[in-house]
Amino acid sequence: MIINNTGQPGGSTTVKIRGNSSIRAGNNPLFVLDGIPLSGTSARPGGSGGFSTDGGNPLTYLNPSDIASIDILKDASATAIYGSRGANGVVIITTKRAKTGEPTLNLGASVGISNLLKKPDVLNGSAFRKAIQNYTPDDVATSDFGSNVDAFDAITRKAPTQNYYGDITGGTENGRYRLSLGHLDQSGIIKNSDLKKYTANLSSSFKFLENKRLGLDVNLLVTQTNENLAPIDVGVGFTGNVISQALQWNPTRPLYDENGNRTYVSSNQINPMTSLAAYKDKAVVNTIVASVSPYYKITDDLEYKLIYSVTRQTGERTGRYIAGMIDSSQVENGMAFVSNNTETDQQLTQTLSYNKQLSDDLSLNAVAGYEFLDYKYYWNSESGSGFNYNGLDFYDYLNYSTANNRSINSYRDPSNQLQSFFLRASFNYLQRYLLTATIRRDGSTKFGENNRYANFPSLAFAWNVSNEPFLKNSRIVNQLKLRLGWGETGNSAFPSGASRDRFTFGTQSITQANFGNPDLKWEASNTLNAGIDFALFNSRLSGSLDYFNKKTTDALFESIIAQPAPPSGKLWVNLPGEVSNKGFELSLTGNIVSKKDWNWNLTVNGTYIQNNVSGLTGYYTTAALRGQGFSGVLGQRMVNGQPLNVWYLAKFAGIDPTTGTSMYVAKDGTVGTPTNDAKYDPALNKFYVGSPNPKYLLGITTDVTYKKFTATFNMNGAFGHYLFNNTMATVLGLSNLPGRNIGSYYDNPSLNESVSNSASASTRYLEKGDYMKMSNITLSYRVGNIGNTIKNLNVSLTGQNLFVLTGYNGFDPEVNTDGSDADIPSLGIEYLPYPPARTILLGVNFSL
């Protein structure tokens, strides 16, 4: 399951393979790029205090046109070879390799437009007028300004995208190369935000010596991404960010006055156009990934390979905030910051592969290896305030700031090294019986002294039934394979230094920040899976069915230390609890029509997952719900017998007809409103009301080809989960009237809801998250060759994120706002995100 946490170009994503397994530490899978295990962190410096808080996508530096394939490893036997980092699955990304032959030039270009896909409904001018006459008739005169303005429309735009790409590839068997260059210019649908990317990728392969036994692969990837970020801070206070300000803007009030100046209301009711103008936020990330990989065929069966790679990313972020635009008493108090991040990763992997036909019936494929990984991370940041706006960007002259309002900071992560040995052996008997065994021994500097090294074994067995004599010539069954596997993998996504006593520095002070735990170790996942792969009817129908059962134990957790304890002091422990994810995956591909001119394929894949937590002592709370009137409100728990991140909220029972306030269910089952009786206070009566983890995931892909036309459709959806619409709860409630706009959802006079009704963390805002999204439609036409110069011209029209079928009232059922509390992640909250965009692109590519 992949969720875009935000609609921002280059924004962070959440990827969950086979469910949510970790209570605390990161749930994202391990990404491996051409054999290089990535650190998974983005080098874009973070933001706060009104600047975008999104963490950024660590894979932004890749150019999708450079990617040849993406393989997702889910089974334990496949991931076990990644040992202490493979517990959440592994995504293998392979970039395009050099092709032999005459040098060929491929060029591609696409241009397109993005616009807003979906947003919560708010009232327009006339509906708002009616609403204030109905709910707050005394204030109509002061709240109706006569116009009809769509503020959200004013902050968004139809955003153009351009993408240019070219690659040159050629060479011989013994020396070939591929050079690609790309440029992406993607504007965001929120004004002033965009992403520009410049990528260059060089990959080459050489073979030396008479017998061509010595080979060398050299790869170099260089990318620069420049971003202008929209000021969307999800941790913002009651004044909100540009999204809430646009949603709440009084639609009868013009955004600009007669002189063309932005309307100023007050310092806590902010004109969204002012927010856009007051913030400027640029991030530049430079990435270099270089790898050198010599290999030597010692004998025909034995090959030795070494990979040495360096990844270096530097991110710089500069931002400025013109305080005087927002609050006229703060004209002298503009602020700016400059932050830098540097990440240097090195890898040394040596492998020895052995491929031999031991006898006529039995063949062996074995790999033994050693790997050493080193990740270094350093950041610094400076900020100051006391600037008044005179046309220059404050971050270019930080020395002007007042001495008492400066902040400087630097930090170097503790060393993070991983040293491993691994061995895998696959036996193939008669092409029918396959046995694979893997063992990996990992040592990490992150683990406590007493548990530095760990072993991760796995065993898999497969039976190619279709190669058995009784099925060999079957016309119905073309392929039938039964698989059974078991393996143990680990998760070590916790920060370095977690197992040591650490004292951090404050201004002229030190504080103990961490209690050391020399027993700290990786989180272990034990997976059992069984599957059937099949192809029937001349491979017209193929697919696979898998059952998986994954138990994660020794959950990594920052536990609460009993007081007296260090402030924000942490104790990393492995919890005795267990998270279990089990379910089924079914994938069916049908070649429905297969004729000379006509071809129609349909693939459907579905997953059913059941998630459960057990063995914890007590419970842990997370999911910070935010907004006006919601401080310190947490909506989810990790507790035994419930799925991970189960919703723990009050049960809403309608609006009380006499007082117009919300009614809730009390613990004894009766219903009432707290206005009349404090026993119904929603804070005192909470229940477990649903899970944010989807039960069913569905993907549908179909492509139809007719002669030279191809149409591809991709849909995906998730079902059985609940999302909390935090935007609707605190930003658009009825109490906004008469000064601010409300959600159309609340404009329901028959309810007789009172304007002084307050929102609380209840099921009123918990919505079913079921959706089906048309994520991609591509129509392409293969023009073919034009004359002697242009070969393989292809024209395509692509639509991404075209529409969503859902009952959810917020921006996007796929959005995941960060509501983590004390580093326990949350899931399923939507609060003022960068809105999702629909993009339509027209592209052409050809070779010369």
Partner 1 sequence: MKASKFYYVVLIMCSLVFTVSCTKLNEDLYSELTGAGSSKSVSDLLTSAYSTLNGPYQQDNRWCLQEITTDEAIAPTRGGDWDDNGIHRALHLHLWNSDNSYMLNTFNGLGNAIFQASNVLRFNPTAQQAAEAKFIRSLAMFDMLDLWGQVPYRENLDDFKTPPSVMTGQDAMDFIVKDLNDAMKDLPTAGVAYVASKNAARVLLMKLYLNRGVFLNRQSPTFSKEDMNQVISLAKAISASKAYKVSDPGHYFDNFAPNNDKISTENIFTLYNENGVRGGSVDRTWNTVAHYNMLPGGWNGWATLSDFYNKFQSSDERRGIYYDYPADTTSNKSQDYHRQNVGFFAGQQYSWVTNEPLMARNPSTAPLVFTPEVTLRTSGATLETAGIRPMKYAYDYKSVGQKNNDWVVYRYSDVLLMQAEAILRGGDGTTAEAIEIVNRIRTNRGVPALTTLTLDDLLDERGRELYWEGWRRQDLIRFGKFLDAWQEKPADVSPNTLLFALPAQQVASNPNLTQNPGF
* CA–CA distance, 820 with 327 (Å, rounded to integer): 30
Smaller CB distance to partner 1: residue 476 or 562?
Answer: 562
If DSSP codes are grouped into helix, strand and coil, which group holds residue 764? helix
Smaller CB distance to partner 1: residue 57 or 499?
Answer: 499
* CA–CA distance, 338 with 316 (Å, rounded to integer): 7
Smaller CB distance to partner 1: residue 419 or 467?
Answer: 419
User: Per-residue string for binding with partner 1, 561-600, x by CB under 8 A?
Assistant: xxxxxxx-x-x-----------------------------
CB atoms within 10 A of CB 207: 17
Amino acid code (one letter) for 832: L
Question: Considering only residues 440-479, where is the footprint of partner 1 by CB under 8 A?
Answer: 443-446, 452
Please check whether residue 383 is in contact with residue 406, taking contact to mean a CB–CB distance below 8 angstroms.
yes
Rounded to an integer, what is the distance from CA 378 to the centroid of its chain?
23
Q: Considering the complex, what minimum distance in angstroms separates the CB of residue 97 from partner 1? A: 25
Q: Considering the complex, what minimum distance in angstroms separates the CB of residue 756 from partner 1? A: 4
* CA–CA distance, 724 with 819 (Å, rounded to integer): 11
Question: Considering only residues 89-118, where is the footprint of partner 1 by CB under 8 A?
Answer: none
Task: Note whether 268 binds partner 1 by CB under 8 A.
Answer: yes
Task: Note whether 748 binds partner 1 by CB under 8 A.
Answer: no
Task: Note whether 681 binds partner 1 by CB under 8 A.
Answer: yes
* CA–CA distance, 38 with 440 (Å, rounded to integer): 18
DSSP 8-class letter at 278: H
Q: Which stretch binds partner 1 (CB under 8 A): 189-197, 293-301, 314-322, 473-481?
A: 293-301
Out of 100, 172, 174, 415, name the contact with partner 1 by CB under 8 A: 415
Q: Considering the complex, what minimum distance in angstroms separates the CB of residue 134 from partner 1? A: 16
User: Per-residue string for binding with partner 1, 616-645, x by CB under 8 A?
Assistant: -xx---------xxxxxx------------
Q: Considering the complex, what minimum distance in angstroms separates the CB of residue 291 from partner 1? A: 17
DSSP 8-class letter at 538: T
Smaller CB distance to partner 1: residue 153 or 332?
Answer: 332
- HEC letters along 448-493: CHHHCEEEEEEEEEEEEHHHCHHHHCCCCEEEEEEEEEEEEEEECC
Q: Considering the complex, what minimum distance in angstroms separates the CB of residue 631 from partner 1? A: 5
| Burial status of residue 828 (CB atoms within 10 A of its CB: 0-12, 13-18, 19 or more) | buried
Smaller CB distance to partner 1: residue 672 or 739?
Answer: 739
Does residue 667 come out as left (phi exceeding 0), alpha (psi in the -120 to 50 range) or beta?
alpha
Question: Considering only residues 225-254, where is the footprint of partner 1 by CB under 8 A?
Answer: 238
If DSSP codes are grouped into helix, strand and coil, which group holds residue 20? coil
Residue 805 has which token pair? 């079928």
Smaller CB distance to partner 1: residue 618 or 787?
Answer: 618
Out of 158, 212, 412, 708, name the contact with partner 1 by CB under 8 A: 412
With b meaning 16 or more CB within 10 Å and e meaning fewer, what string describes 221-246? bbbbbbbbbbbbbbebeebbbbbbbb
Q: Considering the complex, what minimum distance in angstroms separates the CB of residue 567 from partner 1? A: 4
Smaller CB distance to partner 1: residue 115 or 266?
Answer: 266
Q: Which stretch binds partner 1 (CB under 8 A): 86-94, 109-117, 403-411, 836-844?
A: 403-411
Task: Note whether 370 binds partner 1 by CB under 8 A.
Answer: yes
Closest CA to 800 of 842, 843, 839: 839
Question: Considering only residues 128-157, where is the footprint of partner 1 by CB under 8 A?
Answer: 136, 138-139, 141-143
Residue 470: phi and psi, rounded to 5, are -75, -15
Please check whether residue 121 is in contact with residue 748, taking contact to mean a CB–CB distance below 8 angstroms.
no
Interface size with partner 1, residues (CB under 8 A): 101
Task: Note whether 55 binds partner 1 by CB under 8 A.
Answer: no
Question: Considering only residues 473-532, where is the footprint of partner 1 by CB under 8 A?
Answer: 496-497, 499-513, 515, 517
Smaller CB distance to partner 1: residue 78 or 666?
Answer: 666
Task: Note whether 329 binds partner 1 by CB under 8 A.
Answer: yes
Smaller CB distance to partner 1: residue 443 or 720?
Answer: 443
Question: Considering only residues 754-773, where is the footprint of partner 1 by CB under 8 A?
Answer: 754-761
If DSSP codes are grouped into helix, strand and coil, which group holds residue 148? coil
